[in-house]
Chain A
């Protein structure tokens, strides 16, 4: 079987659609909600893939969402078939494989921030199991979210090291899952850059939460510890100073802009989603550092409110998002310093004129 047919495993296929349809009309929202979402997702996904394998049990239908994560870490054994060999389950003893343990801990740290800071129970807020595969492919210089699980490569050792080293990278991937289940920002152009930025913002917040750092103490770097020794650079992105994370013979120079004046128009990378994310990233940094204290508290809460509030369109542009953060700051904290900090943060990246429209 080739990688294509084998790599798709969908938590919804275990339950036949007619059963899901029945469950989606169930009186208990804990049952109906996940079933409905599964049906919606299933319909969406069916058009773009062949489903050949059925594995596991659908955990979203198993009752009340838990305040404990349900993690399973797999070893792809340098192949590209997912998820691979099961290595560590929730509550299981540590593996002899440090990549497995780092992934287990990274997923736990991310689950914890979303739960402790925002009361969110896993990716879907209904206790969705967290699955990750490590050792994907050979010398693989990447990590991604495939729509259902996290996937981490080992790096080639020349440019990149193991993608399970930085906790913010693991949290970045998990946050793609949160975004998928909430605003579902289209992964293209400005909405795609916002999607990327959400992952960097909460990725950085998870790291700050783990380290117990305030906004002023944090380094605001994404992917610190990921670059091999010979690479000239400190990380892959800097939310504090976009465009300064690396400048290297092989990697080139960090291309991120920090303001709208330097917005990059390109067709590559889905319209520069990993490039222009520097702009909303920097806006978050400005808001969080202006407010001070723990960035996940007020600044993070405002961003989380917008991501999950239901008003953020899947094709939202930077200005739409900015406007909603101004409104969210007002509705949660009134006309105080939070409102001012958010307005000034966006002005700092060249997105102005939000006040009047933000008030509706």
Chain B
């Protein structure tokens, strides 16, 4: 499973993107579960969000959802953090 995250907006307005492939990871099952939950609660289109809030575009095997701070579910937040931190 390929998971990519693009983070835009924020006070600095600096974009960050990262992607990871779960197949090479020991936590593949956990990430797949997070991804499933994350997509379930995401929106199909980007909203305007709150001033200076981060926007996240999460793509999982070709399916993209949009979420924005501070309204991330725990699963979405963990997924986004993991991908941006450990993805390339």
B48 touches A270 (CB 8 A): yes
Residue A82, interface by CB 8 Å: yes
Residue A173, interface by CB 8 Å: yes
- Inter-chain CA distance A8–B10, complex, in Å, is 19
Residues of chain A contacted by B14 (CB below 8 angstroms) = 251-252
Q: Of A3, A138, A160, A196, which one neighbours B70 at CB under 8 angstroms?
A: A3
Q: Of B8, B10, B72, which one neighbours A80 at CB under 8 angstroms?
A: B72
Q: Of A138, A147, A186, A269, which one neighbours B8 at CB under 8 angstroms?
A: A269
Query: Which residues in chain B, 1-27, are within 8 Å of chain A measured between CB atoms?
Result: 8-15
Residues of chain B contacted by A169 (CB below 8 angstroms) = 11
- Inter-chain CA distance A268–B8, complex, in Å, is 7
Residue A143, interface by CB 8 Å: yes
- Inter-chain CA distance A250–B77, complex, in Å, is 23
Query: Which residues in chain A, 102-153, are within 8 Å of chain B measured between CB atoms?
Result: 137-138, 141-147, 151
Residue A28, interface by CB 8 Å: no
A80 touches B70 (CB 8 A): yes
A4 touches B50 (CB 8 A): no
- Inter-chain CA distance A261–B50, complex, in Å, is 29
With both chains docked as a complex, state the minimum distance between the C-beta of A224 and any C-beta of chain B, in angstroms: 13
Q: How many interface residues does chain A have, given as a range?
A: 35 or more
Residues of chain A contacted by B62 (CB below 8 angstroms) = none
A7 touches B71 (CB 8 A): yes
Known: A2-B74, A3-B77, A187-B49. A144 touches B69 (CB 8 A): yes
Residue A205, interface by CB 8 Å: no
B71 touches A143 (CB 8 A): no
Q: Of B69, B72, B81, which one neighbours A142 at CB under 8 angstroms?
A: B69
Known: A172-B11, A251-B14, A274-B13. A142 touches B73 (CB 8 A): no
B13 touches A269 (CB 8 A): yes
A195 touches B12 (CB 8 A): no
1/0 per residue, CB under 8 A from B, across A170-200: the answer is 0011001000100000111000000110010
Residue A273, interface by CB 8 Å: yes
1/0 per residue, CB under 8 A from B, across A1-15: the answer is 011100100000000
- Inter-chain CA distance A137–B72, complex, in Å, is 12
Residue A283, interface by CB 8 Å: no
Residue B87, interface by CB 8 Å: no
With both chains docked as a complex, state the minimum distance between the C-beta of B1 and any C-beta of chain A, in angstroms: 23
Residues of chain B contacted by A274 (CB below 8 angstroms) = 9-13
B8 touches A146 (CB 8 A): no
- Inter-chain CA distance A255–B54, complex, in Å, is 18
B48 touches A223 (CB 8 A): no
Residue A236, interface by CB 8 Å: yes
Residue A163, interface by CB 8 Å: yes
**Which residues of B pack against A, CB within 8 Å?**
8-15, 48-55, 69-74, 77, 81
The 5 closest A-B pairs by CB, nearest first: A274-B13, A144-B52, A176-B51, A142-B10, A144-B53
